[in-house]
């Protein structure tokens, strides 16, 4: 007998962790996840609803933001569902009800419906761990088989149930476990209960959290205790279908079954897969298909081994500067500090294929010629679909230049290259690059809000820079920091072979002449006549700086804590922006098409200053016509490998300033406090939920480890997803997981809506979005845009250029106002140092 389970999702950020917990039980239920808002009064009151109740053996009322005291909108369609269950369990429709299991919000709802008040806790318990005090009844019920074991549970709630038999007026609810916390002002809080006569169970805590214990055991007990009830219910429904004594109910169950399946299929949560989206921009795709039919490109690869004593950081700086002289504007993704081990550079000849999109414009712009082209889109979903079509490159063969016998070209198939790279990764080595060409750029915070959460962005706050800005690179260089090996790549149609080979060989020649390479080989440096990008600006640029207002920031913290106390959120990542105004143009009159040498040199100088003062594993340097992004992010958002069907995320929550007097032990003690660990735990559970929608297996390979960076100590966790679901690729996970949970809080959707209000609907822009690459061979790596600065303007005489630096912190119920202000400034200082002359 396959158990049919309906999980009602109240837009919580932990729902799919519950799905995983139920899925892995011995009964292996078939699970349908349905958003609570889709259970409308019109649907529940229709004749279709009995078919839904008949279909499912178990109904799970999941967690979510808000309060059961405010049915609309916090509870969505749950009250309508409950009323229908009660209706069809009495009178002429009397039948055997489904099994019900409530979690957190579901727990509060079930007990409230049975007469027990729901009120605020003296102090919210968000991401905090409690030990259960199991009752005698609980030891025979939910917690059977766990006698004598100390059971830790993770709590995410600011409201609690006042269990009071006299107030309820009945004895229907049986307590199964209480909290055993001594720091709750002597208050014992009910953590688990069941209905005395009906098959209803509920827990206040989150059994699906990574730090909750024995979650699977208590659910196994639920199915064990309800087995006979489920069998009896199935028999009752079958009798209804075989007999005519309840004709209306029978007709509803039988005749509406197809309609029910359509309803569930249309409304239940499903991940969007790029290649399954409707091709709204068919003309665009057909054009690319015709181009692809003319000549399938070849991938050219040239490998150089550097001396062991070479300074890789200095080498990358010199390489970018010198290749810029004959290849023009580039993008750089540099691992300037551990644990990163690869750096990638993207180059293009003349004007690159650059794709930009502004919310809510109805078009995607491509700049690949002197005249930009605009492609019609109905939504941001179409933008992602178009980018997927751009990345659909059919490489015909791989030519390793000069790697064959007698230094001849060695030709291999694309499958052979992929197999070599995949085998290396499976064996734990990182010898081959993950970027052979493709898209490099950023996706803004607002693009994630709209595309990942379907939350509207206030149109009164227009975008200063594109919300999606990516460039398609056909020429790239990859540097392995550990093996000191350089990979030079190009790909294009066959008739460009000579040009692309000459570019590879020119880069190879340039590498051998770099001062750092010659020094490492014991050779004197070559004199060069051309000016270097490394020269800092000859004079300071006058300007002004606008720092966050302390009183305003503290006010936002206070308002955030009120939302935490009301149950609307567990954690809110409140941010603010610093504005730096550079007065006077950097434009040198060289034309409107290209970026001037003076402009490029100015931003490159900023990047070098930032790297010197605060090196980070996910550094970036992007320069386009109207904006620049320079950053030293310590946080990986998402890395994927489609060939292995795996992905990895490394959220950071918890920061301690690093000084000459601060030891690792002292920093660890500060980061291992309940407040810091609660911040990190909430985001870990949120990310597990996001990834579980796309991968069969999700594991936490590192939970709250302390990592050391040049200016700070950070609390870092590592979540890995394996076995991507059929049809899912890395870009699906990227799109579906934005914006980064470490920059929003949890539950993500409600937290984002609250943050828009707290931050006065001011766009965050690039800050707290993501930057990285999407590779043509199935890889990707994106970091969270923090410890970064981006610019707007500066084109033309006497035009001001605006730089923005975002910073903030996660506000929890345990946050101290002054400490949060200090932490925000610690993060701000790391990026602000580059503007010491302003």
pLDDT tens string 549-604: 999 999 999 999 999 999 999 999 999 999 998 765 544 444 444 555 566 777 88
pLDDT at 318: 94
**Fold held by 282-534+541-835:** Anthranilate synthase (3.60.120)
End-to-end CA gap in the chain: 72
pLDDT tier at 536, thresholds 50, 70, 90: very low
CA dihedral over 43, 46, 48, 51, signed as positive or negative: positive
pLDDT higher than 50, residue 93: yes
The alpha carbon of 787 is separated from its chain's Cα centroid by a whole number of angstroms, namely: 18
Element (H, E) at 712: strand 712-724
Q: In terms of pLDDT, which residue wins out, 197 or 527?
A: 197
pLDDT tier at 537, thresholds 50, 70, 90: very low
* 559 in Cβ contact with 830 (< 8 Å): no
* Ranges 185-199, 250-264, 363-377: which has the least confidence: 250-264
pLDDT at 81: 86
- Using DSSP, state whether 796 is helix, strand or coil: coil
pLDDT at 295: 64
Q: In terms of pLDDT, which residue wins out, 39 or 684?
A: 684
Q: In terms of pLDDT, which residue wins out, 795 or 394?
A: 394
The average pLDDT across 197-209 equals 96
* 63 in Cβ contact with 12 (< 8 Å): yes
Q: In terms of pLDDT, which residue wins out, 408 or 114?
A: 114
Q: What single DSSP character describes residue 567?
A: T
pLDDT higher than 90, residue 626: no
pLDDT higher than 90, residue 226: yes
pLDDT higher than 70, residue 716: yes
pLDDT at 590: 44
- For the 4-267 domain, the top CATH level (class) is alpha beta
pLDDT at 493: 65
pLDDT at 254: 56
pLDDT higher than 60, residue 460: no
pLDDT tens string 769-805: 999 999 999 999 999 999 999 988 654 445 577 899 9
Residue found under tokens 């066959």: 494
Q: What single DSSP character describes residue 88?
A: T
Q: Report domain extents, the chain.
A: 4-267, 282-534+541-835
pLDDT at 791: 87
pLDDT at 277: 42
């Amino acid at each position: 007998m396959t158990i049919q389970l309906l999980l009602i999702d109240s837009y919580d950020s932990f729902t799919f962790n519950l799905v995983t917990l139920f899925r892995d039980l011995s009964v292996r239920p078939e699970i349908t996840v349905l958003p609570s808002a889709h259970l409308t009064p019109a649907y529940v009151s229709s004749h279709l609803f009995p078919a839904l109740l008949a279909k499912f053996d178990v109904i799970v009322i999941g967690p979510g933001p808000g309060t059961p005291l405010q049915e609309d909108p916090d509870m969505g369609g749950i009250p309508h569902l409950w009323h229908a269950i009660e209706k069809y369990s009495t009178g002429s429709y009397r039948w055997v009800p489904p099994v019900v299991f409530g979690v957190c919000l579901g727990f509060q709802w079930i007990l409230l419906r049975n007469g027990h008040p729901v009120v605020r806790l003296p102090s919210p318990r968000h991401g905090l761990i409690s030990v259960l005090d199991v009752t005698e009844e609980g030891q025979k019920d939910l917690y059977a088989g766990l006698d004598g074991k100390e059971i830790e549970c993770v709590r995410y709630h600011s409201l609690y149930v006042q269990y009071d038999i006299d107030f309820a007026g009945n004895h229907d609810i049986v307590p199964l476990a209480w909290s055993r916390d001594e720091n709750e002002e002597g208050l014992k809080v009910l953590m688990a209960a069941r209905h005395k006569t009906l098959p209803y169970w509920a827990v206040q805590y989150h059994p699906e959290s990574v730090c909750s214990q024995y979650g699977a055991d208590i659910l196994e007990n639920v199915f064990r205790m309800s087995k006979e009830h489920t069998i009896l219910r199935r028999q009752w429904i079958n009798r209804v279908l075989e007999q005519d004594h309840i004709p209306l109910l029978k007709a509803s169950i039988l005749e509406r079954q197809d309609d029910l399946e359509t309803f569930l299929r249309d409304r239940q949560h499903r991940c969007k897969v790029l290649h399954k989206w409707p091709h709204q921009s068919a003309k665009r795709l057909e054009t690319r298909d015709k181009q692809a039919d003319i000549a399938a490109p070849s991938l050219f690869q040239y490998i150089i081994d550097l001396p062991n004593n070479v300074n890789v950081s200095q080498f990358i700086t010199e390489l970018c500067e010198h290749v810029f002289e004959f290849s023009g504007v580039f993008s750089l993704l540099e691992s300037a500090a551990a644990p990163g081990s690869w750096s990638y550079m993207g180059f293009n000849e003349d004007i690159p294929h650059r794709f930009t999109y502004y919310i809510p414009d109805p078009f995607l712009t491509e700049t690949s010629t002197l005249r930009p082209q605009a492609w019609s889109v109905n939504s941001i979903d179409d933008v992602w679909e178009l980018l997927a079509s751009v990345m659909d490159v059919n490489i015909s063969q791989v030519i390793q230049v000069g790697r064959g016998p007698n230094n001849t070209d060695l030709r291999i198939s694309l499958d052979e290259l992929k197999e070599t790279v995949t085998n290396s990764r499976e064996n734990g080595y990182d010898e081959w690059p993950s970027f052979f060409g493709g898209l490099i750029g950023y996706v803004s915070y607002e693009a994630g809000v709209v595309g990942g959460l379907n939350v509207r962005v206030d149109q009164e706050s227009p975008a200063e820079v594109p919300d999606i800005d990516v460039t398609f690179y056909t020429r790239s260089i990859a540097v392995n920091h550990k093996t000191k090996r350089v990979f030079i790549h190009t790909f294009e149609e066959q008739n460009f072979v000579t040009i692309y080979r000459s570019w590879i060989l020119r880069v190879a020649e340039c590498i051998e002449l770099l001062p750092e390479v010659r020094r490492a080989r014991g050779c004197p440096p070559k004199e060069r006549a051309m000016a270097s990008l490394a020269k800092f600006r000859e004079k300071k640029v006058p300007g002004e700086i606008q720092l966050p207002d302390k009183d305003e920031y503290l006010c936002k913290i206070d308002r955030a804590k009120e939302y935490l106390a009301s149950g609307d959120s567990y954690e809110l990542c409140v941010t603010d922006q610093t504005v730096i105004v550079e007065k006077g143009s950097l434009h040198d009159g060289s034309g409107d098409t290209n970026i001037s040498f003076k402009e490029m040199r100015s931003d490159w100088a900023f990047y070098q200053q930032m790297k010197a003062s605060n090196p980070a594993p996910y550094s970036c340097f992007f320069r386009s016509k109207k904006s620049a992004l320079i950053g030293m992010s310590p946080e990986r958002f998402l890395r994927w490998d489609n060939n292995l069907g795996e992905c990895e995320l490394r959220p950071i929550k918890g920061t301690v300033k690093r000084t000459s007097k601060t030891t690792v032990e002292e920093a660890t003690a500060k980061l291992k406090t309940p407040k810091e660990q609660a911040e990190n735990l909430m985001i870990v559970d949120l990310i597990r939920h996001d990834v579980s929608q796309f991968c069969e297996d999700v594991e936490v390979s590192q939970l709250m480890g302390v990592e050391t960076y040049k200016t700070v100590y950070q609390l870092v966790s590592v979540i890995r997803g394996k076995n991507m679901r059929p049809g899912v690729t890395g870009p699906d996970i990227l799109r579906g997981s934005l914006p980064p949970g470490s920059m929003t809080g949890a539950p993500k959707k409600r937290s984002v809506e609250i943050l828009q209000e707290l931050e006065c609907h001011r766009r965050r822009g690039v800050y707290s979005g993501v930057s990285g690459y999407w590779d043509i061979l199935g890889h990707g790596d994106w970091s969270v845009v923090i410890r970064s600065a981006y610019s707007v303007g500066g084109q033309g005489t006497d035009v001001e250029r605006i730089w923005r630096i975002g910073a903030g912190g996660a506000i929890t119920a345990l946050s101290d106002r002054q400490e949060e202000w200090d932490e925000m400034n610690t993060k701000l200082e790391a990026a602000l140092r580059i503007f010491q002359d302003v």
